[in-house]
Structure 1
Amino acid sequence: MDLIVKRANANSLKTQCAVVFALDNTLQSSAQLIDKEANGTLSHILESKALKNKAGSHCWVHLAPNKKRAYEHVLLVSLGQAEKKSKSSISSKDYISSIQSGLKALKGSHIKNAAVYLDQVNLSDTDNSPSTIAQLFATEAKRVDYKYATTKASDKDSSKLEKLTLVVDDAKQVNDAKKGLKLGQALGNGINTTRELGNLPGNICTPEYLANQAKKLATSSTKLTTKVLTEKQIEKLGMGAFLSVAKGSAQDGKLIIMEYRGGAKTAKPNVIVGKGITFDTGGISLKPGPAMDEMKFDMCGAASVMGVMTALVELQASVNVVAIIAAAENMPSGRASKPGDVVTSMSGQTIEILNTDAEGRLVLCDALTYAERYKPKSVVDIATLTGACVVALGNHATGLFSNDQALADKLLASGEKMHDRAWQMPLWDEYQKQLDSNFADMANIGGPQAGSVTAACFLSRFTKKYPWAHLDIAGTAWVQGGAKGATGRPVALLLDYLLNA
């Protein structure tokens, strides 16, 4: 789907469909122009309450054929109720809901191209720049455009929507809106990359597949280089914790390193580290059968890292970012780790494996130690790490843990700004004693209480040399039920942080 920005008039721009809006049951300016030409048809829709005064409510407007008319069809969408403090403003949440609804209606129709007339949309909870308006629009357009079909012989995406024109009402806004559109498209493409990787089955999206995707991305930009470490190289580095997980599978584990150099040569990079367990059976500590298919999503941390790097490449961003993906399968076999085994991490610290299903922290701890060589400005790891985080926060907020409050504050602010929220959890010393072991420097689990906290405490023992944050996305990386699939979170949060760090 092509996205462009234009300044135009609703009665002059040739398009198959004009998408116009109403706020608080009042037609916006472009809708008023069309209403005048249509002899009050849109006003009648509002008067008859065929369009609800709720963000996202929409109605197709049926007009008599007229070859002289600039548009063939009209879609009227409600922006909902205005904010009480300002009768011309709405929340960005309502704006996004309205855009999503309108685009879904277009996608389900026979429309090939449409013009969206946003007029003067005023957002009450963020800046009102044309750039922000266009960025939110483009991100949702790309998000709505995605449909998983890779492993389907039938039911391919039947959408005919090929072109969307975002229309602004002032020529001075065009350049600013174009910048926002570019950012929004890149973010949307990064989110969809993450969703696609997460949705792929484990027999396709293996550690080798992730490595090949990273190599492929590097061919599209001179600013990006990718290298992939094999298990033999990982062993030489002393990554005993990583290998304790990978060795149980016939699929070789991979440490994937992507270096994006778009900023000053002397500038320290920000590092993002993704958990890439491409399928998690639990190992010898086998998971129960029901819903085990969803453990293909256990690599969504790695997928989000790939999504962020995809967006950075598309933007040709002026930043330095290193991405590290710890990719492996966690399988039961004669070679798999057993409860009670003791392994030595790259840091030299020993770990008693009390539960082989607490494998994410084992691959991550060695990747976090590896990150030290970059003398990073910050390190953020992203992982579907604990079911305990889902119990604590549900599916709305990503769990955030950090050893540096300034870093935590920046990530939280990016989450609020990008509607990809996180919630800070405690990382207190009092929890560390739950990881005590009689036979090693630490155990890999801390008992039934505060499971997400003790998992973060475990990782914190490998992050003493830099500002670090951990994002537990176990509750936000995918949805269950009839709409089962990867969400693409927290790509938006991460991209905003990295572009502004």
Structure 2
Amino acid sequence: MEYFIRTGDASRVRTGCLVVGIFRDGTPSGPQQDTPALKTILSSLRRAGDLPREAGAHLVLQQPDGLGARRLLLVGCGARKDFGIKAYRQSVAAATRQLQKLGAADAVLSLATPQLTPYSRTRHAVESAEHTLYRFDELKSEKKDPKPKLRKLGIHLDAAGGRSQAMRGIEHAGAIAEGTAVARRLADLPANRCTPSYLASFARKLAAGDSRLKADILTETQMKKLGMGALLSVTAGTDEPARLIVLNYRGKPGGKTIALVGKGVTFDSGGVSLKPPPGMDEMKFDMGGAAGVIGTMAAVARLRPAINVVAVVPACENMPSGRATRPGDVVRSMSGKTIEILNTDAEGRLILCDALTYCRRFKPDIVVDVATLTGACVVALGHHVSGLMTRSDELARGLLAAGVTAEDPAWRLPLGEEYDKSLKSSFADFANVGSREGGAIVAGCFLARFTEGLEWAHLDVAGTAWRTGSEKGATGRPVPLLVQFLLDSL
């Protein structure tokens, strides 16, 4: 998709379709819309009671009199007082869907209010449009989309003065949208396609030809030599070999290094502690953390920021067999700590703990792990915000602020001894599960045991990395949050 800027009188914009927002009070939302031609059109529709005022409503006019556009698409925006970034993104998404249905090849959006900066208008418009246009149909034998896809989309600004900000917004949004699409596609792929080896191959291709980005792939033999007994205990029951994927971006040698660790369980049956059949197909999404981290690295490769970023992705399957790890088994992690495995379906923390230990060799200033870790986090927070756990108030503030800016919010949960003590084991240093109460926090406490001396945070994206039901599919979160956090760290 090509994105561009338009300024000046909206009625003179020459395009296949001009998109204008309408508030509940019947007034237009976009800039420079008090022109005679638009006033006449809107007044006529207002008298007839045909103005779309509520969010999601729309009206299309063909060959509107006095306009340079061949079509006029009016999109309802709801109440003016509620029209912030979230409502703006929803309006852009609604407009994009209608433009697709119309078969428009090019269009100009004139939706934002003066309260939104030129940067915010373009960034969130591009992200929202790209998110709406995403389709996963590569495995379908017939693709039903007869109309031409939208190829050019303009964003209308008040004046030319904000053009540099607006172009920066397009640049950032393009990278974030690309990274989000990468994450969505990887997570949407079925587990017989997106195996640990496939993820490793994808990482190699991502790094190919980029002088700043290097990919290293560790085999099970190499992991065994490193003492990664926790990670290897998860993959013991499957025929699909595990991989430890490392993507190392060097944007500022000698500068700050941020490590991202992503859980990559490409299919989670639960192992011997087998999951119930309903919904098990969605366990292909249990590599959502890995997808988000790899997607973030795709965005980093495009933006080329002056910062060092290392991604560590432990990738494996969790399957039952005669070789599989059993409840009650004790394994030794790379850190030397022993773990009693009481539940083989609490596998994510086992692969993450060895990955967290491994990432120490890069001497990171900050470590953020990302995982679809617990159903308990979904129960606690639902599907709107990701769970954030960290000992560092400063790191928490940075990640929470990035989530607000990116419209990819998180919510901080506590860590503390009162939760950690439930991990006590009679036969090992500690167990892989503890009390069911506060289960998401207990999982965070488990990971915290492997992060002493690190500026570390844990993002549980079990409720936000994918949707269920009629809109089943990956969301690409938390790519926007992570990229924004990296931009804020420059």
Report the Cα offset of residue 30 of structure 1: 4.5
Q: Which residue of 2 aligns with 1:75?
A: 73
Report the Cα offset of residue 75 of structure 1: 0.5
Describe the superposition over 1:308-353 as per-residue Cα deviations: whole angstroms up to 9, x where unpaired. Answer: 1111111122221100101000011111101111100000000011
Structure 1 unmatched ranges of 5 or more: 84-88
> Matched residues in 2 for 1:156 and 1:229: separation?
41
1:60 to 2:53 alignment: no
The one of 334, 357, 365 equivalent to 2:322 is 334
The one of 110, 113, 116 equivalent to 2:106 is 113
Q: Which residue of 2 aligns with 1:102?
A: 95
> Matched residues in 1 for 2:291 and 2:446: separation?
23
1:416 to 2:404 alignment: yes
Q: Which residue of 2 aligns with 1:180?
A: 169
Moved more, 361-370 or 153-162: 153-162
> Matched residues in 2 for 1:490 and 1:267: separation?
24
1:248 to 2:237 alignment: yes
> Matched residues in 2 for 1:157 and 1:314: separation?
29
Question: Per the alignment, in what secondary structure is the counterpart of residue 3 of structure 2?
Answer: strand
> Matched residues in 2 for 1:29 and 1:211: separation?
47
Report the Cα offset of residue 220 of structure 1: 4.6
The one of 185, 195, 219 equivalent to 1:230 is 219
User: Which residue identity does 1:441 align to in structure 2?
Assistant: D
Moved more, 317-326 or 23-32: 23-32
User: Which residue identity does 1:202 align to in structure 2?
Assistant: A
User: Which residue identity does 1:122 align to in structure 2?
Assistant: P
Asked if structure 1 preserves the Cα contact closer than 8 Å seen for 2:2 and 2:153, the reply is yes
Q: CA, structure 1 residues 421+134, in 2 after alignment: closer, same or farther (shift >3 Å)?
A: same
Asked if structure 2 preserves the Cα contact closer than 8 Å seen for 1:79 and 1:90, the reply is yes
1:397 to 2:385 alignment: yes
Aligned residues with identical type, % of pairs: 46
> Matched residues in 2 for 1:25 and 1:280: separation?
51
Describe the superposition over 1:396-455 as per-residue Cα deviations: whole angstroms up to 9, x where unpaired. Answer: 111111121111111111112211111111101111111111110010000322211111
User: Which residue identity does 1:404 align to in structure 2?
Assistant: S
> Matched residues in 1 for 2:363 and 2:237: separation?
32
Report the Cα offset of residue 304 of structure 1: 0.2
Q: Which residue of 2 aligns with 1:86?
A: none
The one of 204, 210, 224 equivalent to 2:199 is 210
> Matched residues in 2 for 1:301 and 1:353: separation?
22
User: Which residue identity does 1:121 align to in structure 2?
Assistant: T
> Matched residues in 1 for 2:378 and 2:440: separation?
9
> Matched residues in 1 for 2:387 and 2:145: separation?
34
User: Which residue identity does 1:180 align to in structure 2?
Assistant: G
Describe the superposition over 1:114-149 as per-residue Cα deviations: whole angstroms up to 9, x where unpaired. Answer: 12224x6233xxxx4211211111111111110111
> Matched residues in 2 for 1:500 and 1:187: separation?
14
User: Which residue identity does 2:97 align to in structure 1?
Assistant: K
Asked if structure 2 preserves the Cα contact closer than 8 Å seen for 1:149 and 1:157, the reply is no
Q: Which residue of 2 aligns with 1:41?
A: 41
Q: Which residue of 1 aligns with 2:22?
A: 22
How does the TM-score come out when normalised to structure 2? 0.95
Asked if structure 2 preserves the Cα contact closer than 8 Å seen for 1:15 and 1:70, the reply is yes
Question: Per the alignment, in what secondary structure is the counterpart of residue 312 of structure 1?
Answer: helix
Question: Per the alignment, in what secondary structure is the counterpart of residue 241 of structure 2?
Answer: coil
> Matched residues in 2 for 1:422 and 1:453: separation?
14
1:261 to 2:250 alignment: yes
User: Which residue identity does 1:115 align to in structure 2?
Assistant: V
> Matched residues in 2 for 1:38 and 1:346: separation?
67
Asked if structure 1 preserves the Cα contact closer than 8 Å seen for 2:402 and 2:488, the reply is no
> Matched residues in 2 for 1:11 and 1:384: separation?
48
Asked if structure 2 preserves the Cα contact closer than 8 Å seen for 1:142 and 1:188, the reply is yes
Q: Which residue of 1 aligns with 2:303?
A: 315
Q: Which residue of 2 aligns with 1:130?
A: 118
Moved more, 269-278 or 439-448: 439-448
Structure 2 unmatched ranges of 5 or more: none
Q: Which residue of 1 aligns with 2:293?
A: 305
> Matched residues in 2 for 1:220 and 1:115: separation?
35
Asked if structure 2 preserves the Cα contact closer than 8 Å seen for 1:21 and 1:31, the reply is no
Q: CA, structure 1 residues 408+39, in 2 after alignment: closer, same or farther (shift >3 Å)?
A: closer
Q: CA, structure 1 residues 29+498, in 2 after alignment: closer, same or farther (shift >3 Å)?
A: closer
Q: Which residue of 2 aligns with 1:498?
A: 486
What's the RMSD between the two structures over aligned residues? Answer: 1.8
1:419-434 alignment runs, 5 A limit: 419-434=407-422
Q: CA, structure 1 residues 69+134, in 2 after alignment: closer, same or farther (shift >3 Å)?
A: closer
Q: Which residue of 2 aligns with 1:474?
A: 462
Describe the superposition over 1:463-496 as per-residue Cα deviations: whole angstroms up to 9, x where unpaired. Answer: 0021111111111111110110011111111111
User: Which residue identity does 1:250 align to in structure 2?
Assistant: D
> Matched residues in 1 for 2:27 and 2:400: separation?
36
Q: Which residue of 2 aligns with 1:201?
A: 190
Q: Which residue of 2 aligns with 1:170?
A: 159
Question: Per the alignment, in what secondary structure is the counterpart of residue 498 of structure 1?
Answer: helix
The one of 239, 247, 268 equivalent to 2:228 is 239
Q: CA, structure 1 residues 39+424, in 2 after alignment: closer, same or farther (shift >3 Å)?
A: closer
Question: Per the alignment, in what secondary structure is the counterpart of residue 108 of structure 1?
Answer: helix
Asked if structure 1 preserves the Cα contact closer than 8 Å seen for 2:213 and 2:301, the reply is yes
Asked if structure 2 preserves the Cα contact closer than 8 Å seen for 1:149 and 1:156, the reply is no
Moved more, 152-161 or 108-117: 152-161
Q: CA, structure 1 residues 493+251, in 2 after alignment: closer, same or farther (shift >3 Å)?
A: same
> Matched residues in 2 for 1:38 and 1:245: separation?
63
> Matched residues in 2 for 1:298 and 1:421: separation?
20
Report the Cα offset of residue 8 of structure 1: 4.8
Report the Cα offset of residue 9 of structure 1: 3.6
> Matched residues in 2 for 1:44 and 1:94: separation?
26
Question: Per the alignment, in what secondary structure is the counterpart of residue 284 of structure 1?
Answer: coil
Moved more, 486-495 or 38-47: 38-47
> Matched residues in 2 for 1:432 and 1:29: separation?
54
The one of 67, 84, 89 equivalent to 1:91 is 84
> Matched residues in 2 for 1:39 and 1:494: separation?
43
Report the Cα offset of residue 389 of structure 1: 0.8
